[in-house]
Amino acid sequence: MNTNPSFLSHTSYDVAVIGGGPGGAALATFLARNGHRCVIFEQSKFPRYHIGESLIPHTHGIFERLGLLPQLCASAFPVKHSVRFVSASGKESVPFYFSETIPGERARTWQVERSEFDRMMLGHARANGVEVHEQISIDKVLFEDSCAVGVQTVSPDGSRAEVPAKVVVDASGRACVIGRQLGLHAPLPELRKASAWGYYRGGKRLPGIDAGETTMFLIPGGGWFWYIPLPDDIESVGVVADPEYVFSQSDDMEAAFTREVALCAPLADRLSAAQRVGPVRGSRHLAYLNRQTCGDGWVMIGDARAFLDPIYSSGLYLALGSAELAAQCIDDALRHDDISAARLGAFESALWKGVDVVRRLIHAFYDPNFSFPKFAERFPEHRAALIDCLVGDVIKDMSAFTAALAQMTPPPPPLGSNIAKPSAPELATFAALPVGLWCKESD
């Protein structure tokens, strides 16, 4: 085993980050700016494909603090001002404009082509002093007793090396490197959803500021489609529904997706003159979490911690938000020479509270007896809180809102209370899922 590989600039690091997606890039940027020696190991070569294209406005402050707003404003990414729901019968909601609750520039955000957005973020990390190694994968985290002390890298030629670091951050997305290594990773049975998605050129767009909106087309049985405008006249279109429904007639992802698009009349109308480009991709199991998200010398951020559901486009915000919060705790831990789980994970309870509000709303959305228009009618004083959820402003006291929600839809069990350690066969099945489907650089 090589302990000092030539591709590294140093023999040890303050922080080693697994994964150069938005979460890892943001965290390392914040820490490098505070003078910490950070290295990112990214298994693929950027630009590479990734799903998850719709940002929510509460990312604005994070981009500002990262110094990324000028690049975003100069980009070709469509500007998103709102979200609109279209019922299965084709009835359209009024758009939820973010400007209803947020003043000025912060009320707008972007629909991003991830290959370009992620490349921009990783380049920004480099420009801020982060050492970035692409095409270097991490196959395990190194522990002494129960404290993480570094990572094991794998180069394209298969050679392995050990890299010592004071803190290891798992930002590996759905690969969940630490979660799988420590057996912490578990599917979330209460949110069993599958998804299939593809891209179209030439779909219809709305005029004016609605051109960049996310449109959600609801389908019978509780599923839904996203319709997200991207640069170059491309629309990202994806269906999310119960796996039994999506794959009821065929196990084939493309056949299931094409059938659902044709069945959803208002969506099919938007795509009537469009051509599908590229493959149909998908996942049979979207939701999971890790039963523990930090320990001595290590912390998980973004999708490496948990993923619930794409309905509110909160994934990138939670990745960036957890990155910023974790960076503050790591900075504090390194300054105090105390890398205990308690210090590294000091942000956890506030973050989980925010995640739990999103989870309550996800359950409400999938409750067939609940409807947001009826909720807004009965509790007009909470419409603003509803928009807060759509923009991502949830890491604050939302108890009045969730109490009102509980009057119309039962709250789910406390997060994690029903997550037992999965059995060996369950783990084997889960590990075999095609997590790489949306990470393949060749796509």
Ligand X SMILES: Cc1cc2nc3c(=O)[nH]c(=O)nc-3n(C[C@H](O)[C@H](O)[C@H](O)COP(=O)(O)OP(=O)(O)OC[C@H]3O[C@@H](n4cnc5c(N)ncnc54)[C@H](O)[C@@H]3O)c2cc1C
Contact status: 169 vs ligand X (CB under 6 A): no
Selected binder of ligand X within 44, 101, 290, 409 (CB under 6 A): 44
Q: Does 109 bind ligand X (CB under 6 A)?
A: no
User: Which residues have C-beta within 8 Å of that of residue 204, sequence separation ≥ 6?
Assistant: 269, 270, 271, 272, 273, 274
**Residue 86 contacts ligand X per CB under 6 A:** no
Among 16, 28, 30, 43, binds ligand X (CB under 6 A): 43
Q: How far is the CB of 36 from ligand X (least distance, A)?
A: 19
392 binds ligand X (CB under 6 A): no
In whole angstroms, the minimum distance from the beta carbon of 165 to ligand X comes to: 14
Count of other CB atoms within 10 angstroms of residue 193 = 26
Q: How many CA atoms lie within 13 A of 278 on its CB side?
A: 16
Q: Can you say how many angstroms the Cα of residue 309 is from the centroid of all Cα atoms in its chain?
A: 9
In terms of CB distance, is 43 or 290 closer to ligand X? Answer: 43
Contacts of 60 (CB under 8 A, 6+ apart): 69, 105, 106, 109
Ramachandran angles phi, psi of 308, nearest 5°? -100, -65
Give CA–CA dist 145/151, Å, rounded: 15
Query: In this chain, which of 13, 14, 15, 23 binds ligand X, going by CB under 6 A?
Result: 23
Binding of ligand X at residue 213 (CB under 6 A)? no
Which segment (100-108, 170-178, 259-267, 417-425) binds ligand X by CB under 6 A? Answer: 170-178
Scanning 36-44, 201-209, 270-278, 411-419 for contacts with ligand X by CB under 6 A, the matching segment is 36-44
Binding flag, residue 290, ligand X (CB under 6 A) = no
CB of 21 to ligand X, least distance (A): 2
Q: Is 393 a binder of ligand X (CB under 6 A)?
A: no
Q: Is 137 in the site for ligand X (CB under 6 A)?
A: yes
* Cis peptide bond N-terminal to 207, omega within 30: no
C-beta separation of 96 from 82 below 8 A: yes
29, 109, 195, 293: residue in contact with ligand X (rule CB under 6 A): 195
Distance CA 350, CA 76 (A): 34
Q: What pairs with residue 148 in β-bridges?
A: 143
Instruction: Establish how many alpha carbons lie within 13 A of residue 23's alpha carbon, considering only the half-sphere containing its beta carbon.
Output: 30
Structure tokens at 109: 């955000």
Binding site residues, ligand X, CB under 6 A: 18-24, 41-44, 50-54, 137-138, 171-175, 177, 195, 238, 283, 286, 302-304, 310, 313, 315-317, 319, 439
